[in-house]
């Protein structure tokens, strides 16, 4: 081996590279085929089970991310590990910050922002989205907050609630104010809702009920047929 090449290898070894938490494999091989970043229900299930497969799919989709340790909540709440989307590249930033979620949620959110939100924003609003506002991801609670009811997907970090967007000019778009607002904004919000229906197991919007008047709820519940309203 030439001295220059040997020196380069030693420098890489000395400096190191970012690693996932101990016990989590690095990303696997990237699938270079067109459409490799698209996901279906089987891929979501595998991504949520397998950190190595998860990282490979995120890398194939071009998502900057980190794998995070798990969290044990009370009772059956909690998650064994999670993914946080990282800012950078062309991706919009998250406000107040990107939350840890299941891999299936992170993967779908990244593809949704890239392939649905940004084209819709340019078409209806004339400018890109630079930030997405989230309300919650993990939370130990039941569906609808009903005492004794089944756990929400939030209790497993398998869901995310999104309340609005910020565009490149600084315009703030919120569901509570703009769902019934002017035509272009209404069209944008409905298009990004409808586009999410092909990526998530559950999509709830202000059209569903009053509890969702101010946000989209996206989750990766294991459903034979996705529910979108």
Longest dimension (CA), the chain: 69
pLDDT of 26 reads: 39
Q: What pLDDT, in 10s, does the model give residues 115-171?
A: 999 999 999 999 999 999 999 999 999 988 788 889 999 999 999 999 999 999 999
Q: Which tokens hold the place of 80?
A: 């064994």
pLDDT of 30 reads: 35
For residue 139, give the nearest of 124, 147, 151 by alpha carbon: 151
Per-10-residue mean pLDDT, the chain, length 229: 40 35 38 48 91 93 93 93 90 94 96 96 98 96 86 97 98 97 97 94 94 96 88
pLDDT of 99 reads: 95
Cis amide prior to 96 (ω within 30 degrees): yes
pLDDT of 145 reads: 79
Give the E-state strand segments of the chain in sequence order: 65-72, 78-85, 93-95, 129-136, 159-167, 172-174, 202-204, 216-219, 227-228
Rounded Cα gap, residues 67 and 103, in angstroms:
9
pLDDT of 38 reads: 62
Backbone angles phi, psi at 55, to 5 degrees: -65, -35
């Amino acid at each position: 081996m030439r001295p220059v090449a040997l020196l380069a290898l030693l420098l890489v070894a000395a400096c190191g590279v970012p690693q996932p938490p101990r016990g989590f494999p690095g990303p696997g091989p990237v699938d270079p085929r067109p459409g490799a970043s698209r996901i279906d229900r089987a891929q979501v299930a595998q991504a949520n089970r397998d950190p190595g497969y998860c990282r490979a799919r995120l890398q194939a989709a071009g998502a900057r991310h980190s794998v995070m340790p798990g969290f044990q909540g009370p009772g059956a709440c909690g998650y064994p590990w999670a993914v946080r989307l990282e800012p950078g590249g062309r991706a919009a930033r998250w406000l107040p910050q990107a939350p840890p979620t299941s891999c299936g949620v992170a993967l779908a959110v990244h593809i949704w922002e890239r392939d649905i939100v940004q084209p819709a924003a340019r078409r209806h609003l004339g400018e890109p989205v630079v930030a997405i506002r989230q309300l919650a991801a993990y939370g130990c609670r039941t569906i609808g907050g009903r005492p004794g009811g089944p756990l929400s997907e939030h209790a497993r970090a398998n869901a995310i609630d999104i309340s609005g967007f910020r565009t490149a000019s600084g315009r703030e778009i919120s569901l509570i104010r703009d769902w019934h607002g002017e035509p272009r904004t209404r069209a944008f919000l409905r298009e990004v809702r409808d586009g999410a229906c092909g990526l998530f197991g559950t999509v709830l919007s202000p059209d569903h009920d009053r509890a969702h008047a101010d946000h989209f709820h996206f989750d990766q519940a294991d459903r034979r047929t996705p529910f979108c309203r």
